[in-house]
Amino acid sequence: MKVILNAQQIERALGSVADQIAGCEPPRPAGGQPSDNELAIIGIRSRGEILAQRLADRLSQKLRKSIPCGTLDITLYRDDLNAPHGDNQPQVRTTEIGFDIDGKTIILVDDVLYTGRSARAAMDALIDLGRPKAIRLAVLIERTGRELPIQADYYGKKADVRPEQSIQVNLVESDGKDEVVVE
């Protein structure tokens, strides 16, 4: 097991992602009116939702406006849900998005982008909820091995990891510590 990000490096990576997003956000006009491009953050359960909240807090401070944040459960949109080799019953949890996504630029947040299948499922789920102006993908770790033509718009770290290895993201809110390890 090798630590590729410790707690401080995770914070720096999230800061970098926030800076990347803020750099793409149009500046607020002098009169303080919001721009036409409303931004919202939605995290994919389970670690994506924690990272989304951290990111929304950073962006709210950086952009000097409240950035809404929600949580998306993609269980029923997964392409492996009814796999013949799967014996586990999926645990369906709630999607908690307390705002209208229509016309907003949605920053979809996940911990690791690997095959692209979770991101695809999340986009399908979002489209069923409304019609965002745009969907952008932000991840803490972007690793090699994509199976679908999906890439992160914003990422904290790229990791070149062999297919037989896995990346585990631990966050203090769910795991008691902040670190990313390769197993």
Per residue in 108-125, pLDDT tens? 999 999 999 999 999 999
Helices and strands: H and E segment counts in the chain: 4, 8
Ranges in the chain, pLDDT < 50: 33-34
Question: Please, what are the domains in the chain?
Answer: 9-21+38-78+93-162 (3.40.50.2020)
The predicted structure's pLDDT at residue 67: 97
The predicted structure's pLDDT at residue 90: 65
AA letter at 61: Q
Residue holding tokens 């951290």? 54
How much is the pTM? 0.88
Contacts of 14 (CB under 8 A, 6+ apart): 51, 54, 55, 58, 140, 156
